[in-house]
A and B are shown apart, each in its own frame.
Chain A
Amino acid sequence: MIRTEGLTKRFGQLTAVDNLNIHVQKGEIYGFLGPNGAGKTTTAMMILGLLKPTEGRVKLFGKYLEEDYFNIKRRIGVLSEFQYLYDEMTAYEYLRFFGNLYQVDDIDKRITQVLGLVNLDHRKHELLRGYSKGMKQKLGMARAMLHDPELLLLDEPVSSLDPYGIKEIRDIILEENRKGRTFLISSHILSEIERTCHRIGIMNKGRLVAEDTMADLRRRLMDEVELNITLEQESEAVTKALQEKPYVSSVQVNGKEYVVKTKTDKDYRGEISRTIAAAGGVVVEIHRHEMSLEEAFVTITDKNISLLAKEGVA
C-alpha cells in the first residue's frame, strides 16, 4: 500500500527524514511512533505529496503519486492532528462539500452512515464553530472515511478525545480494518498503538530505528524475562533452589513476593513451579511481566540516541 524508497528530507542543514524505507502492507494497521521532531509528520506530508522529498520517492498502491495523482488521492483518507474546519458550515454541509470533492455517490446516505459511526448524526445541523475539540476530531474521522478509502492515514487520532471517544475511534479502526481497510497511525498515545497496531515503526532523529510486530519488538529488546511469583510463605529452601538453576539470573525476595529473572530462550514458568514445589514451597500466583510499548519505545529511542551520539550525529 505504501512503500517509501530512500525517502529523505532536508531543511537546510537539518535532516528531518533520513533514507526512510517503510512498507505498509495491505490490510494491516501500521503504527508510526517517535518522539517530537522525529520526522513522522514530515514523512506523512511527503507520502501525501504535500512536501517534496529531497531524495527518494513514495509509492502508493504500487504507483508513484505523480503517475495517477487524482485516483491515488481518492483512495486515501486523512485525519490530521489538528482539525481545521470551515466554522461557518454545519457538519452536514462540511461533509457534503468533501463528498462533492471526492465525487461520492449517494452522498446523503453516506453522510448519515459516517456521522452515525462517530455518533454525531444528531448534531449534523449545528454550526462547526460550536463543536468541541473532541467533536471536531470525530468529524475529521468522519471526513476521512466519507469516500470509503482503502488507506487511512491518521495522525494522533485520539489525542483530543475523552475515554469514551477513544474507545469509539478504536472500535471504528478495528472494525474498518476487519473490513480490509489499511491504516497508518501516527500517535504519541503508546497504549493505543499497542492495542490497535499489527506492526510498529519507531522513528528517531529522522531514522527508522525499529520496525516489527509488538511481540517481536519485545523479544528483541528484552534481555531477560521477569517473573513475579507469590508464594504461600517465604522459604529459604525455595530461594536457594531457584538460585541454583542455570536459567535463573537473579532472585529478589520481598516476604512472600519473589521476582525471578530468567533467560528469554523459552518459557520457564513450568520448570520454576516444579522447582518451588520440590523445595517445599506453594505457588499462589505467577505473573510474567511483559514489556509495554512505552518501555520498548523508551529503550529503543534511548539506545538509538546513544548510538547516534557515538556516530557524531546526535
Chain B
Amino acid sequence: MSYSYRTNASKVIAFRELFSTLYGLGLYVVLTAVFLISSYTVHGSVFQLEQNGLLALPSPLTSPFFLTVGLVAIYLGLCSAISISRERDQGTLEVLFYGPVDSFSYILGKYGQQMLTFFVVLVFSVINFWLVSLVTNFGFSGNFFSLMVLSIFLASCMVSFGIFLSTLTKRTNISLILFIALMILLVIFPFARQSVLSIPGKSLTTVMIYIRIVLDNLNILMQWISPVAYFERGLVAVGLHDTVQYIISIAASTIYTAVILGISMKVFENKGVKR
C-alpha cells in the first residue's frame, strides 16, 4: 500500500517541478547557449573541411553532442544542488511533508524531475543534431548512439550528486557555492595531479613525493566519488569499442546513483524539513 502512495507522491512532485521548469525560461536559455557552443565546434569541422578538404575527426558530430549533454548534465546537477535547499529555504518543503510524502518519495520525485528534464533536453538535442546533420551532411556514427545512452547515466550521476549536496545544506546560496566549488575542484584536480606527475623523479623533493602520494590516493577516491568518473570510464569503453566495459560503466553509474540517493535520504531525514 505504501508503495503506491510513495510512487504517487514521487510522480506528483516530479511532474509539478518538470512543468515548472518547462514553463520557465532558464532551461531554454541554457539550451540555446549550449547549442550555440556546440554549433561553433561543428562550424570548426566544416571550416577545416572547406580549407583542407578533409575531416580531422571521423565523426564530427560526436564531440559537439558530448559537449551538449555534458554541459546540460552539469546544469541539471546545479539545479539539483539547489532544489531541496531552495524549497527548505522557502518553507514549501514543510508544507509538502504535512501530507503523504516521506523522504524516500520526495528525493525520488526530485531525481525523477531532473531526469525527465534531461530526457526532454535529449529529445531537443537529437532534433538539433539531426538538423545540423542535414545542413552539414555529416552523418551519425555508432558511437553517437552509445554516447547518447551513456549520457543518460552521466546525467543520473550528476543529478544524484547534486541532490546529495542539496540535502547537506539549509540555504540555497550555500548549496550553489558548494556545487560550483566541487565542480571546479573536479576540473582542476586532474591538471594539478598531471603537473606533479610530469616532474622528473630525480628532481622530486621529499615534500613533492609526499604530495604525489596524497594526490594519487585522492585520485583513487575521486574515481569513486566523482559523478564524472563513471562517464569517463564509459567514454574510454566507447572509444575502444569494449562492450563489456561499457556495460560495466553503466552498471557502476546505476549503483553510484542508488548509493548517493540512499545516503541523501538518510541525510535528509536527519536534517528534517524545518527551515
Contact B20 A70 (CB under 8 A): no
Which B residues are in CB contact (< 8 Å) with A88? 20, 23
A interface residues with partner B (beta carbon < 8 Å): 45, 48, 50-51, 69-71, 73-74, 76, 78, 80, 82, 84-86, 88, 97-98, 100-103, 143, 147
Interface centre among B13, B91, B97, B100 (most CB of A within 10 A): B100
Q: How far is the CA of A84 from the CA of B273 in the complex (A)?
A: 13
Complex partner residue of A84 from B9, B20, B90, B102, CB under 8 angstroms: B90
Complex partner residue of B101 from A82, A101, A103, CB under 8 angstroms: A101
B5 at the A/B interface (Cβ < 8 Å)? yes
Interface centre among A51, A82, A84, A85 (most CB of B within 10 A): A84
Query: With A73-B100, A97-B12, A101-B12 known to touch, is A51 a contact of B2 (CB < 8 Å)?
Result: no
Which A residues are in CB contact (< 8 Å) with B37? none
Contact B95 A84 (CB under 8 A): yes
Identify which of residues 95-123 in chain B touch chain A, using a CB-to-CB cut-off of 8 Å: 95-102
Contact A76 B98 (CB under 8 A): yes
Which B residues are in CB contact (< 8 Å) with A74? 5, 99-100
B245 at the A/B interface (Cβ < 8 Å)? no
Q: How far is the CA of A102 from the CA of B6 in the complex (A)?
A: 11
In the complex, residue of chain A having the shortest beta-carbon distance to the beta carbon of B5: A70
Q: How far is the CA of A234 from the CA of B181 in the complex (A)?
A: 86
Per DSSP, chain B at the interface is helix
Which A residues are in CB contact (< 8 Å) with B5? 70, 74, 103
Closest 10 pairs between A and B when the two form their complex, measured CB to CB: A84-B91, A70-B5, A78-B98, A73-B100, A100-B12, A70-B100, A84-B92, A101-B12, A74-B100, A70-B2
In the complex, residue of chain B having the shortest beta-carbon distance to the beta carbon of A82: B91
Contact A48 B90 (CB under 8 A): no
Which B residues are in CB contact (< 8 Å) with A78? 95, 98-99
Query: With A51-B272, A51-B274 known to touch, is A86 a contact of B92 (CB < 8 Å)?
Result: yes
Which B residues are in CB contact (< 8 Å) with A85? 92
Contact B16 A97 (CB under 8 A): yes
Q: How far is the CA of A76 from the CA of B13 in the complex (A)?
A: 19
Contact A103 B8 (CB under 8 A): yes
Report A96 CB to chain B, min CB distance, Å. 9
Report B196 CB to chain A, min CB distance, Å. 45
Which B residues are in CB contact (< 8 Å) with A50? 94, 97-98, 272-274
Report B147 CB to chain A, min CB distance, Å. 35
Complex partner residue of B102 from A51, A69, A103, A143, CB under 8 angstroms: A69
A-B contact pairs, 10 of them (CB 8 A): A45-B274, A69-B102, A76-B98, A84-B90, A86-B20, A97-B12, A98-B99, A101-B12, A102-B99, A103-B8
Identify which of residues 1-48 in chain B touch chain A, using a CB-to-CB cut-off of 8 Å: 1-2, 5-6, 8-9, 12-13, 16, 20, 23
Q: How far is the CA of A98 from the CA of B97 in the complex (A)?
A: 11
Q: How far is the CA of A101 from the CA of B5 in the complex (A)?
A: 9
Which B residues are in CB contact (< 8 Å) with A86? 20, 92
Query: With A84-B95, A97-B12 known to touch, is A70 a contact of B274 (CB < 8 Å)?
Result: no
Report B230 CB to chain A, min CB distance, Å. 33
Which A residues are in CB contact (< 8 Å) with B12? 97, 100-101
Contact A101 B99 (CB under 8 A): yes
Q: How far is the CA of A97 from the CA of B9 in the complex (A)?
A: 10
Report A2 CB to chain B, min CB distance, Å. 15
Contact B94 A69 (CB under 8 A): no
Q: How far is the CA of A76 from the CA of B95 in the complex (A)?
A: 12
Q: How far is the CA of A109 from the CA of B122 in the complex (A)?
A: 38
Interface centre among B9, B16, B20, B273 (most CB of A within 10 A): B16
Which A residues are in CB contact (< 8 Å) with B97? 48, 50
Which B residues are in CB contact (< 8 Å) with A102? 99-100
Q: How far is the CA of A73 from the CA of B1 in the complex (A)?
A: 14
Q: How far is the CA of A147 from the CA of B100 in the complex (A)?
A: 11
Q: How far is the CA of A96 from the CA of B5 in the complex (A)?
A: 17
Q: How far is the CA of A88 from the CA of B92 in the complex (A)?
A: 13
Q: How far is the CA of A143 from the CA of B92 in the complex (A)?
A: 13
Which A residues are in CB contact (< 8 Å) with B16? 97
Contact B274 A101 (CB under 8 A): no
Chain B positions 77 through 101: 1 when the CB is less than 8 Å from some CB of chain A, otherwise 0: 0000000000000111011111111
Which A residues are in CB contact (< 8 Å) with B272? 50-51
Which A residues are in CB contact (< 8 Å) with B102? 69-70
Q: How far is the CA of A70 from the CA of B99 in the complex (A)?
A: 8
Chain B positions 126 through 160: 1 when the CB is less than 8 Å from some CB of chain A, otherwise 0: 00000000000000000000000000000000000
Which B residues are in CB contact (< 8 Å) with A69? 2, 100, 102
Interface centre among B20, B90, B98 (most CB of A within 10 A): B98
Q: How far is the CA of A86 from the CA of B21 in the complex (A)?
A: 13
Which A residues are in CB contact (< 8 Å) with B94? 50, 80, 84
